[in-house]
Amino acid sequence: MTDILTQTALSEVRTVDPDHLAGAPLVLAQKVEKQFGTLKVLKGIDLAIPKGEVLCIIGPSGSGKSTFLRCINQLERIDGGALWVSGERVGYHREGNKLYELDDAAIARQRRSIGMVFQRFNLFPHLTALQNIIEGPVQVLGESAREATARALALLERVGLADKRDAYPSQLSGGQQQRIAIARSLAMRPELLLFDEPTSALDPELVSEVLKVMRDLAETGMTMICVTHELGFARDVGHRVAFMDQGQIVELGDPRSVLVDPKETRTKAFINAVRH
């Protein structure tokens, strides 16, 4: 398996800075398929994401971007192909007519290493910012309240919200809630962070504060897959950009080649439409 992973890593990530090419990819998708009823939503996604990479996924509504993230995080089961995270085969998969399933404990363990930040912040409304952040580390990772609180306070500082530790979500702006949601994900010490349009539910003036936190995070070497409509963010922060359309990755490469000088007609049309 290491050979497959390494070979695929080298063939798929050649456009990435060599510093990001340390060993096997953190995420590997091979011919991943997903359908809802008769609707084929993912039609053979091949992708290798090395540790430390920031991959931005762009594409029109309904192209399967969220579904792909949800498959990585095992919120959806794939119907074909294979997915690995950290060299471990992810949850459910099918080979021929056989369906392989990990037990719930193994799935829970795999999911713990993957953080996900949603469009809607999904904070617990009855818990303060601090309580939202320590909930997972205490309940799931078994950390002491003292240790979890110390780390949560550092994370609040990192997202610029130390003064909001005792505020409830309803007392925070959308941008602040999203920054708490990011801190909450980080508190679980994830190896991989998935962002599903984290700024699209925000008022325009609140977008930049969330993008700044994501930008800072990228600089720490966190592996991130960001589904985003923020082309400026994708250009400045992404190591690579993937353009998805109709369940396929139509174009993949460094941000300049995909966003400024795309080769595919569909990519060009999408970028023009988003810009105007």
Ligand X SMILES: Nc1ncnc2c1ncn2[C@@H]1O[C@H](COP(=O)(O)OP(=O)(O)OP(=O)(O)O)[C@@H](O)[C@H]1O
Q: What residues make contact with ligand X under the rule CB under 6 A?
A: 36, 39, 41, 59, 61-67
The residue among 9 and 41 lying less far from ligand X, judged by its C-beta, is 41
Do 239 and 254 contact (CB within 8 A), yes or no? Answer: yes
Cα end-to-end distance, the chain, whole Å: 46
The residue among 129 and 244 lying less far from ligand X, judged by its C-beta, is 244
Query: Nearest distance from residue 117's CB to ligand X, in Å?
Result: 14
The residue among 62 and 87 lying less far from ligand X, judged by its C-beta, is 62
Query: Nearest distance from residue 100's CB to ligand X, in Å?
Result: 22
Counts of helices then strands in the chain (DSSP H, E): 10, 12
Q: How far lies 63's CA from each of 7, 178, 245, in Å? A: 28, 24, 5
Query: Nearest distance from residue 172's CB to ligand X, in Å?
Result: 24
The residue among 16 and 224 lying less far from ligand X, judged by its C-beta, is 224
The residue among 141 and 274 lying less far from ligand X, judged by its C-beta, is 274
Query: Nearest distance from residue 273's CB to ligand X, in Å?
Result: 13
Tell me the Ramachandran region of residue 44: left when phi exceeds 0, alpha when psi lies from -120 to 50, beta otherwise: left
Tell me the Ramachandran region of residue 83: left when phi exceeds 0, alpha when psi lies from -120 to 50, beta otherwise: beta
The residue among 39 and 105 lying less far from ligand X, judged by its C-beta, is 39
Query: Nearest distance from residue 245's CB to ligand X, in Å?
Result: 9
- Which structure tokens are listed for 257? 């080649």
Amino acid sitting at position 46: D
- How many Å apart are CA 107 and CA 257, to the nearest integer? 37
Query: Nearest distance from residue 43's CB to ligand X, in Å?
Result: 11
Do 236 and 56 contact (CB within 8 A), yes or no? Answer: no
- How many Å apart are CA 102 and CA 150, to the nearest integer? 34
If one counts every other C-beta atom within 10 angstroms of the C-beta of residue 256, the result is: 11
- How many Å apart are CA 4 and CA 102, to the nearest integer? 21
Query: Nearest distance from residue 115's CB to ligand X, in Å?
Result: 18
